[in-house]
Structure 1
Amino acid sequence: MAGNVHDLRPKTPESEKLTINLGFVDLGRIDLLVRDGFYSNRADFIRTAVRNQLERQGDAVQHSVARKQLSLGLSHYTRQDLEAARDASTPLHIQVLGLASIASDVTPELARAAIASVQVLGAFHASPKVKEALADRTA
């Protein structure tokens, strides 16, 4: 029975994995705070530190988003979206702060015909062939 279940739309990941290098003293200080129960683990500390810093810089981020006319959040582009842009001769300028994704059924040819530029601050999900086709248009 479970073999008959199909996702209508693939689930979009809610986060992106980062790798950072920290000095031994900083790492030890984080471990001390974790051991003393201030944070559940290293990742919890780092997520909290990042959120706190982003909150402190919130006004600067908002001004920059408005100035650069970035879409904030998740932006998904379907094959139909790109076909409509191509057919109307109005190529898309994708500018996103967050996650921009292009549907898996979009061909590299359609992507090149419909997308003039891609600027993503965050994560850009598309098939490897579509990313390759848009490489010269991606900032």
Structure 2
Amino acid sequence: MDGKERIMPKVQELRPRIADSEKITINLGHVDLGQIDLLVQEGFYANRTDFIRTAIRNQLSRHEDAMRKTVERREIELGVRRYSRADLQAAQASGERLAIQVLGLAVIADDVSPELAVETIASLEVLGALQAPAAVKTALRDRIR
């Protein structure tokens, strides 16, 4: 080397990163929006998003006990649940059909074929977000609630 530092190329992640949030759109009246802007200007919140996120968390906190009981009663998986091709092939081998219920994020791996999904997933209810190949979503459209 000629005394210069060697620059290493950036290494890309092998596993795609899953977004930790989902964008939503809401409509607010002008007065409500103005009140939020006033609170932001006065320093109560960093921005509109901070206010809205805080308001949502406060409401969710008020209903926490009821949600916990409902999740337990309905046997819903909470958080992020990934379904790999190996998971579905194992269900297929055992003759099992999955009734998937997730509150949070359900991820069906990119290498899962629509045929495998149809054969192994009896129903799919996601309260939150579903990430799956477009062809898999299309194949399961009559089973998604």
TM-score by length of 2: 0.92
Match of 1:2 in 2: 9
Pair 1:85 & 2:88 matched: no
Match of 1:105 in 2: 111
CA distance in 1: counterparts of 2:94 and 2:9, whole angstroms: 43
Name the % identity: 58
Q: Residue 6 of structure 1: CA displacement?
A: 3.7
SS in 2 for 1:2: coil
Match of 2:40 in 1: 34
Structure 2: give runs of 5+ residues left out of the alignment: 1-7
Structure 1: give runs of 5+ residues left out of the alignment: none
1:30-74 deviation digits (Å, cap 9, x = unpaired): 000000000000000000000000001101111111111100000
Structure 1 stretches of at least 4 aligned residues deviating more than 3 Å after TM superposition: none
Pair 1:59 & 2:27 matched: no
- Normalized per residue, the structure richer in helix is 1
Alignment: residue pair count: 138
Q: How does 1:66-81 map to 2 (within 5 A)?
A: 66-81=72-87
CA distance in 1: counterparts of 2:103 and 2:33, whole angstroms: 30
Which of 114, 126, 134 is matched with 2:132 structurally?
126
SS in 2 for 1:138: coil
Larger Rg: 1 or 2? 2
SS in 2 for 1:136: coil
CA RMSD of aligned residues (A): 1.0
Pair 1:16 & 2:18 matched: no
Match of 1:49 in 2: 55
